[in-house]
Chain A
Amino acid sequence: MRGNRRIVILLLCVGTLHLAVFFAGFLSPYDFAQQDRELPFAPPTSLHFRDMHGTLRWRPSVCLLVERPAMFGTYDEDLQKCFALRFLVLGPEYKLPGLFKSRLHLFGVSGPAKVFLMGTDAYGRDIFSRLLYGGQISLLSGLLATALSLGIGASLGTIAGYYGGWVDAVVMRSGELFLALPWLYLLFALRAFLPLHINPAQAFLLLIGVIGAVGWARPSRLVRGIVLSGKERHYVLAARVFGGSDIYLMRRHLLPQTYSVLLTQATILIPQYILAEVTLSFLGLGVGEPAPSWGNMLAALQQYHVLVSYWWMWAPGVALIPIVLSYLLLASALQEKGALHRM
């Protein structure tokens, strides 16, 4: 079926992007906090496929950058001092999140030259490495916050739909309350009035908590609708006859009916939440230095001279586009499939 194939392809896309970010330590040549004070705002390093004698080589080489005298931030390449790019090298130690530590990197340069695939920022930190590590934070917060929202929404929606009566009324009214507050404003207000200056780890968890807790209302409504009609299905009644308790019924028979809706909601919420994290970090209310996040990397663009002169600093913003796009396409593909099912 063409529809299914499209979904699988999109899932693969999304999966690859997430996987690339997961292996940030392996794929990036440098640590995200490693500074090179001699090379602030260096442009992306050009890879030379011809060596000093002009012969074509399969292994690219990178030349040493020297600052042009009397001009800050402009560099020349010293073509006499070029070093080959090596693959599968040992470099600074990193830890794959939740797994083991390693020192193996995909590529690196042995020698004083540096390979900055996407240039450097104001402190001489490699943007490419920070992009991957920052992706870990931004994407992960999107995923975790979505899980929180859906978890709260599904539980409350199931309880409201199953028991009905005043429980239902309370849950639905509170949901309306949350929906009546403009989302971004609520997020800001909530986040801002919690301690502003906290370390990145705490900020990360806080951010997930706040973003996730604000968005439970819409999923809970959808789940409630499904549970309202689903609890009258005959197999649910049969299980009640067998003596199934309320919790059993909700877990075994009602929740599975909500899976497809929850999946579609997830594909809609994840990009929204990723963007929420980026926005908050951009404005300084999210994850702060030195931990990289696409938001706080983009914050450098608030200075006009950076905005105009150093185009490689836009990398985190541009990286958002394929991710959001894949999620959007996935969401519409799933919705079409769902509509087809119902027909």
Chain B
Amino acid sequence: MRYFGHRVLQSIFLLIGVSLLSFAFVDLAPGNFFDEMRLNPQISRETVANLQRQYGMERAFPIRYVRWLKSVARGEFGFSFAYNAPVAPLLWSRARNTLLLTGSASLLAWLFALPLGILNAAKSRGWIDCAGGLVTSVLLATPDLLLALGLLWLALRTHWLPVGGILLPESAGRSEWQRLKGIGVHSAGPVLALVIGSLPTLTRHIRTAMIEGLDSPCARAVRAHGIPRWRIVLRHALPVAASPLISLFGLSLGSLLSASLLTEVVMSWPGLGPLLFEAILARDLYVVIGAVMFASLFLIGGMLLGDVLLFVADPRIRTERLA
């Protein structure tokens, strides 16, 4: 329990540090939202100055930071200049879309990668393994950008998948089921891109972990007893391989919000990525900070979860810690 407390405390400090850092980076940089306005001759100087004062932009850095913190405490996460609304609801709706995407992609990827990785580790050598390795390597080397563009091309050429957006245009009056179906169909492209992108790395990690598990002293000892192969793989090698995989799982949970930025932008999925991108182009200060904080929150939470899961799952860590 003390271990958890220590880790949670550490994570909170990290969060505060992250918020300060991102606020500093984004805030101290030159240029802000009102520069565009100033260029517009129809808007008078005073209006711009008033707007700036209204948003409190001319105050000093610490004051702005504290005001932002208060806004976070209220649950608003600051105010968006471009959308003229509090940032938090914006972030939530977009984050939901992103999580939908990355959550299903993650699930599918792990679902496919686990058996692939285990099988790969259990029977190495052979031309299937070689060919598979080659395909994996090439896929690994293919940038996400290319994958996203490729699937976009496929969608445009074959009309199997809709391009862009999340809902069918006529879905306003439709039933819940049809809306869900619409969402599912729209997400197929980006999800596929994410799955293909992450499958090679994941399979590789699982394979490495399984090989180490199979090579571990306990598995080798058991093999000498003549126990059938599949049993060794499942009952003896898997638990050893599980610990690095569990921390990997925790980490991948953490990157759920941030991994799909490029794919979302390219395939026009209304998630957190495109929001960040637009806000960046428009210099919408608090949206950018909010998005970065959100993603960071997930990352830190993921790391914490990974540690917690590891603690629960691996008896060695427990004894090491309590000793």
- A contacts B directly in the complex (CB < 8 Å)? yes
CB within 8 Å of B: which residues of A? 173, 176-177, 180-186, 188-190, 192-196, 271, 275, 278-279, 282-283, 285, 298, 301-302, 304, 307-308, 314, 317-318, 320-322, 324-325, 328-329
Assess whether B246 is interfacial by the CB under 8 Å rule.
no
B156 and A308 contacting across the interface, CB-CB below 8 Å:
yes
B137 and A194 contacting across the interface, CB-CB below 8 Å:
no
Tell me the dominant secondary structure on chain B's binding face: helix
How near does chain B come to A159, taking the closest CB pair, in angstroms? 20
CA A190 to CA B299, docked complex, whole Å:
18
Assess whether B291 is interfacial by the CB under 8 Å rule.
yes
Nearest 10 pairs between A and B by C-beta? Answer: A193-B29, A182-B258, A192-B280, A325-B141, A324-B141, A317-B146, A182-B295, A177-B17, A321-B141, A185-B295
CA A302 to CA B267, docked complex, whole Å:
10
B30 and A194 contacting across the interface, CB-CB below 8 Å:
yes
CA A177 to CA B14, docked complex, whole Å:
6
CA A188 to CA B288, docked complex, whole Å:
10
How near does chain B come to A250, taking the closest CB pair, in angstroms? 28
A180 and B258 contacting across the interface, CB-CB below 8 Å:
no
CA A173 to CA B20, docked complex, whole Å:
14
B141 and A181 contacting across the interface, CB-CB below 8 Å:
no
B149 and A307 contacting across the interface, CB-CB below 8 Å:
yes
CA A302 to CA B274, docked complex, whole Å:
14
Q: Which residues of B contact A322 (CB under 8 A)?
A: 141
How near does chain B come to A320, taking the closest CB pair, in angstroms? 6
Total contacts A-B at CB 8 Å: 128
Q: Which residues of A contact B257 (CB under 8 A)?
A: 182
B145 and A317 contacting across the interface, CB-CB below 8 Å:
yes
How near does chain A come to B254, taking the closest CB pair, in angstroms? 9
Assess whether B252 is interfacial by the CB under 8 Å rule.
no
CA A30 to CA B63, docked complex, whole Å:
56
A190 and B25 contacting across the interface, CB-CB below 8 Å:
yes
What per-residue 1/0 map shows which CB atoms of B21-65 lie under 8 Å from chain A?
Answer: 110011001110000000000000000000000000000000000
Task: With CB as the reference atom, state the residue of chain B lying closest to A311.
Answer: B153
Of A188, A196, A282, A324, most buried by chain B (CB within 10 Å of CB) is A188
Given contact pairs A177-B14, A182-B295, A184-B261, a sample of 13 additional A-B residue pairs in the complex whose CB atoms are under 8 Å apart: A177-B18, A180-B14, A180-B17, A180-B299, A182-B292, A275-B145, A283-B277, A298-B145, A307-B153, A318-B146, A320-B143, A325-B140, A328-B141
B299 and A181 contacting across the interface, CB-CB below 8 Å:
yes
Task: With CB as the reference atom, state the residue of chain A lying closest to B280.
Answer: A192
Q: Which residues of B contact A283 (CB under 8 A)?
A: 265, 277
B149 and A301 contacting across the interface, CB-CB below 8 Å:
yes
CA A163 to CA B283, docked complex, whole Å:
42
